[in-house]
Structure 1
Amino acid sequence: MRDQINSLIRDSGVARAAEELAGLLRPAVAVAEDEQESVTADRSAFGPAAGLPTGLDWPTWRGEPLPLLADLRPAELRPFDGAGELPRDGRLLFFFQASALEDYPPEPGSWRVIPCPDGPRGSDDAIPAAGSPAPRNLRFAHRLTLPPLESAAVEALALDEDESDAYSDLLESVDELYAAEGAHQLLGHPWQLQGDLQQECLADTGRGSAPDDWRLLLQLAESKDMVWGDGGMLYFFVREQSFRVGDFSDVHLVMQSG
């Protein structure tokens, strides 16, 4: 697929920057719902398919349990993690209370990302279900991503108006290569709907010295029981230096709608 994308770049209206764009390609993991009706507790899933490890309390916000959006198992993801950036084992849990979007930006504490061991679990009967998507297992695929037009990486290319239009067309062509896999994605460059997400993370938090100090961790598109605004996307971003040492306490959440 890399050769195919590089060919699209060379044939586009931004061919003069082909070498730079090839260097900006970033591997990502496409995340899609498994079509199997039965749900397996030991696999990655949207929603609370399995209880939390023994000894880990369910996180709360304003006294209520946070909905569990995704339970990812790095051991399953390893074959698709082209850069080998994810933890090697355990679980990576993504929590968020969608009602916090009513007063945007959402209040810190309304989302959490918690890494934990994949050990003995508490009773599944104790799983809070309110607000969480219905459990369904996930499947994964490798994909390559280019940075969005509104980003520091593309701004550095100093594209003129015609080249900017051509780059937007190029992004659409690359997206079409992966259309069957949907828009849920782990790592890579974000599928940006409006405005520079990295700049928004920097402005919202005051942490970091430049937009590219922030990187995408997980993006979730709308689905039947995950709704973000009007045709929106939910993004979990993390600072690069925190991600490299496995620190997920520094995650920031952003929502964009179409």
Structure 2
Amino acid sequence: MRLYTTHVEEATLPLGLSKFGGYPDLPEALIWPVSLHKQKWFSREVSGEIALPFLAQLACSELKPYDISGLLPKAGRLYFFYAGCKQATLYDDEGGAHLEFMYEGSSLFRVLWWPDESTPLYRQTPPANLVTGAEMENGAYRACSLRSETEWTLPAVETCWIGEPGDVLTEEEWKVYAELCDEATVLPRHLLLGHSDDSQPYALEAGYQMVRSEFWPELPPATATTAEQQTNRLLLQIDAAEETGMWFGRGGPVYFGIRDEDLKNRDFSKASATTQ
């Protein structure tokens, strides 16, 4: 599904409607995700509790007519939070504060799912320890309503589906296919399911590799081009765009991926995220 955004005043949006930006409409049992981020800074261990910026909420019943693959839950809501490549205030053991840029790590993203769309919702205000950026206003990206369309997507050339010249396609075929993918690119690239539209090679695979040993320590080592990677699919791609005020990495999209098995079992706790 391709998602189209329209900037709106969030007060005009009913609670629970699918949207990018603004504040999440959460049931009372769900709280705004907070992560403990740790890393080395000038040879010192520093840490800080950070609340993750809210990116999107998706009402599954709204999307059902466009989900021709039938992969998403038929009802419920999905909430996406991400703080990759953001500047956060962290504190050392003596209470000294400093600003730190954060790029990747499983503590910097979260996907929540609430299965019952009839549960009362409350529009949340951001916690005081929210990771913020200059493009956010009052702790929120610009609220945008969403419109969905179903379309076919092509796997990018340098992915586990195509690989390098000679893996699946001959060198000449690879070049022709690369041109076709480039011609098929439509900006901004907001996608739900289908194949990711990568800015650089192996975006979704990189996100999966980053969390693989942490989420599934029983798995043997693997590379970005193994058949196993094809069971890790795109869940949601949000592009950096002026309309939403969102900016990720060096200006590319953020990619949320999930394994087929976890999507089938509705286990969104093991979704991964990365940016380019």
TM category, shorter: 0.7 to 0.9
Partner residue, 1:32:
4
Aligned residues: 222
**Residue 80 of structure 2, aligned match among 65, 84, 94:** 94
Does the CA contact (< 8 Å) of 1:48 and 1:127 recur in 2?
A: no
Gaps of 5+ in 2: 37-48, 88-100, 128-136, 223-227
Is 1:138 equivalent to 2:110 in the alignment? no
Q: Which piece of structure 1 moves more, 68-77 or 50-59?
A: 50-59
Q: What is the Cα-based RMSD across aligned positions, in Å? A: 2.4
Is 1:236 equivalent to 2:256 in the alignment? yes
Would the alpha carbon gap of residues 50 and 125 (structure 1) be closer, same or farther in structure 2, given more than 3 Å must change? closer
Normalized per residue, which structure has more strand? 2
Partner residue, 1:53:
27
- TM-score, length of structure 2 as denominator length: 0.72
Partner residue, 1:103:
102
Is 1:196 equivalent to 2:202 in the alignment? yes
Does the CA contact (< 8 Å) of 1:190 and 1:219 recur in 2?
A: yes
Partner residue, 1:169:
179
How far apart are 1:41 and its partner, in Å?
2.5
Which one-letter code corresponds to 1:223 in the other structure?
A: A
How far apart are 1:197 and its partner, in Å?
2.8
Would the alpha carbon gap of residues 48 and 31 (structure 1) be closer, same or farther in structure 2, given more than 3 Å must change? same
Cα distance in 1, alignment partners of residues 73 and 150 from structure 2:
17
How far apart are 1:148 and its partner, in Å?
1.0
Would the alpha carbon gap of residues 39 and 136 (structure 1) be closer, same or farther in structure 2, given more than 3 Å must change? farther
Does the CA contact (< 8 Å) of 1:201 and 1:211 recur in 2?
A: no
Is 1:81 equivalent to 2:67 in the alignment? yes
Gaps of 5+ in 1: 1-28
Partner residue, 1:113:
111
How far apart are 1:127 and its partner, in Å?
4.7
Cα distance in 2, alignment partners of residues 218 and 240 from structure 1:
14
Would the alpha carbon gap of residues 78 and 68 (structure 1) be closer, same or farther in structure 2, given more than 3 Å must change? same
Normalized per residue, which structure has more helix? 1
- TM-score, length of structure 1 as denominator length: 0.77
Q: Secondary structure at the match of 1:71?
A: strand
